Amino acid sequence: MLVHRSSLIAAASALLLSMASAVGAEVLWDQSNWNTINDGSVDESANSCSQVSGNTKVHIANDVHFDTSVHITTVRIYETDGNVQAATQALLWIAPKTGPLPTASSDQLEAAPATVVSIASVTETNGAFHCQRVSATGLDIELPAGDYWVSLTPKHNLGIFPYTVHLYTSGPVIGDPSPAIVACTVNSNWVYPLDPNRPDYSMKIEGEFHVPTAPLPTGLRDEVPSP
């Protein structure tokens, strides 16, 4: 049976499109191995701070490393059930890492250069255990190669016990442990939420790596194209 060339081209184009869709975004940083014992720390930006209600503004930051420049489209954190499931916004803060602890003051995580982003939560399972995967998608962030602090803090109140907590990872610390800062007042006091254990907290970043392109040949005789 003969197939017209135009049909072959259409079929090939459809295959390429389906392959591109299947590939999707690349994983730029992966510490999504959340613990299954529901252990973690409060990571939220409440409407206000109150000793009576327990509402607070606590930001947890992860250190990440990129060997090449990247385009970030998604940042995810992993939390227990609670008020986070109804949260629709979070504060996203990304800053260069220059030492084992950030030096930014707390107001920078509550306002510019922090950015308000939309989030959504879905249940993720691991065998008999589950958590809430909290995702900020549709981002458009370009970063050069290097080391960074990344913090995604959902905007919601503490609620009633059991509170939503950001799960720490079940694996080893990569780089430096995850520190936190309480932003109820302006300060620069970064501390470890679970000292002396000092774990990393669960986070996954997706997007694209920018791979340097090889220069095109100039057409000069005896020139060998770059690999």
pTM over 0.75: yes
Q: What is the pLDDT of residue 124?
A: 98
Helix (H) or strand (E) holding 131: strand 129-136
Tokens 């007042």 correspond to what residue? 185
Q: What is the pLDDT of residue 141?
A: 98
Q: What is the pLDDT of residue 26?
A: 97
Decide: 60 and 92 in contact? Cβ < 8 Å: no
Which whole number is the average pLDDT over 114-132?
A: 98
- Whether 8 shows a pLDDT value over 60: the answer reads no
The percent of residues above 90 in pLDDT, for the chain, comes to 80
Decide: 198 and 191 in contact? Cβ < 8 Å: no
- Whether 207 shows a pLDDT value over 90: the answer reads yes
pLDDT digits (tens, 9 = 90+) for 187-200: 999 999 999 999 99
Which whole number is the average pLDDT over 158-169?
A: 95
Lowest mean pLDDT among 3-17, 35-49, 128-142: 3-17
Please confirm whether the linkage preceding 215 is cis (ω < 30° from 0). Answer: no
pLDDT band at 15 (very low <50, low <70, confident <90, very high): very low
Mean pLDDT of the chain: 88
pLDDT band at 24 (very low <50, low <70, confident <90, very high): low
Closest residue by Cα to residue 76 from 119, 115, 123, 44: 119
